[in-house]
Amino acid sequence: MTAEQTSRIDASELRVLVCIKRVPAPGARINLTDDGQRIDTAHLGFAMSPHEECAVEAAIQLTQEAGGEATVLTVGPEEAEEQLRYAVSLGIHKAVLVKTDGEAVNPQRTARAIGAAVAALEAADGPFHLILFGNESADSGGFQVGIRVAVGLGRPIVTAIKGIDLELEAPAITAKREIDGGLEIYKLPTPAVLGVKEGLNLPRYPTMKGRLASKKAEITQFQPGESEPDGLDGQTSLGLIQPPQKASNVVRLGEGPAAAPAVVDLLDELGVL
């Protein structure tokens, strides 16, 4: 555990970490493996979750404005390098892969693997003043990993964040939390952890220069380490159930101009007109 920071942060020493997850690209058709235990990833495209795109953007903006460096980390298979390199192409400085064997496991083990990697990275290069998570992942959406990492590290965390201000002098972070119909405002001492929500900012797109540079970026690798069997984590996954496909019914309204009255009637019926 890192001691709480009480003196000002030198801008050049600011360190921000963003944790991202490789998830099926939005809109992809999801199929399960025959045993019903996992998502069949054979023909899926992948991305990082939208909340995490905002976390990456926030880390880039904070370090562009204040100085210092931003690091991105994921726990996942070798293919997750694709999402790490994408983050680097946007302006993240360093990338870390906690490399797994491709079998998705529960949030507690993931949080332990992230906590162990954070401890090793901080022992080598100093504390991360801010660790950013998405509020929840776009696929399993457990809302757990960030909170479990913060508790494990003994650091304050606030989730559902829609605004971040960093004061290097204090040093402290002011975080605006979205609630029903308004915002709550928190002040946290550094080092701190935030779970951010889509809408925090407008994520940028990579430049061609950024894309080319990201191909050559060095990716630091860790192993997740030994874990207890599932039961000792207090959770055992029994399987996944796919929702029934909605039946669709195609009705031809006609052809050419002759179909126009039927289209108008239908739009009227749907309340669009």
Ligand X SMILES: Cc1cc2nc3c(=O)[nH]c(=O)nc-3n(C[C@H](O)[C@H](O)[C@H](O)COP(=O)(O)OP(=O)(O)OC[C@H]3O[C@@H](n4cnc5c(N)ncnc54)[C@H](O)[C@@H]3O)c2cc1C
49 binds ligand X (CB under 6 A): yes
* Binding residues among 157-216 for ligand X as defined by CB under 6 A: none
- Residues 79, 104 contacting (CB under 8 angstroms): no
Identity of the residue, 118 or 166, whose beta carbon is nearer to ligand X in the bound complex: 118
Position 224 contacts ligand X (CB under 6 A): yes
Residue span 118-137 as binding mask against ligand X, x where in contact by CB under 6 A, dash where not: ---------------xx-xx
Which has the closest alpha carbon to 41: 83, 104, 84?
Answer: 104
> Shortest Cβ distance from residue 36 to ligand X (Å)?
17
CB of 215 to ligand X, least distance (A): 22
Q: For 178, what's the count of Cα atoms within 13 Å in the CB-facing half-sphere?
A: 11
Q: Which is nearer to ligand X, 232 or 251 (CB)?
A: 232
Size of the site for ligand X (CB under 6 A): 36
The binder of ligand X chosen from 9, 14, 17, 19 (CB under 6 A): 19
Q: How far is the CB of 259 from ligand X (least distance, A)?
A: 46
Question: Nearest to residue 86, comparing CAs of 210, 175, 261?
Answer: 210
The answer to whether 99 contacts ligand X (rule: CB under 6 A) is no
Q: Classify each residue of 114-146 as buried b or exposed e, where b means 16 or more C-beta atoms within 10 Å of its C-beta.
A: bbbbbeebbeeeebbbbbbbbbbbbbbeebbbb
Nearer to ligand X, 107 or 171 (CB): 107
Interaction between residue 22 and ligand X (CB under 6 A): yes
Using alpha carbons, list the distances in angstroms from residue 132 to 57, 100, 150.
11, 21, 10
Distances (CA, A) of 153 to 147, 149, 273: 10, 6, 56
Q: What character string, x for contact with ligand X (CB under 6 A) and - otherwise, covers 134-153?
A: x-xx-xxxxxxxx-------
- For residues 63 to 82, the per-residue mask of contacts with ligand X, x marking binding by CB under 6 A and - elsewhere, is ----------xxxxx-----
Q: Decide: is 83 part of the binding site for ligand X (CB under 6 A).
A: no
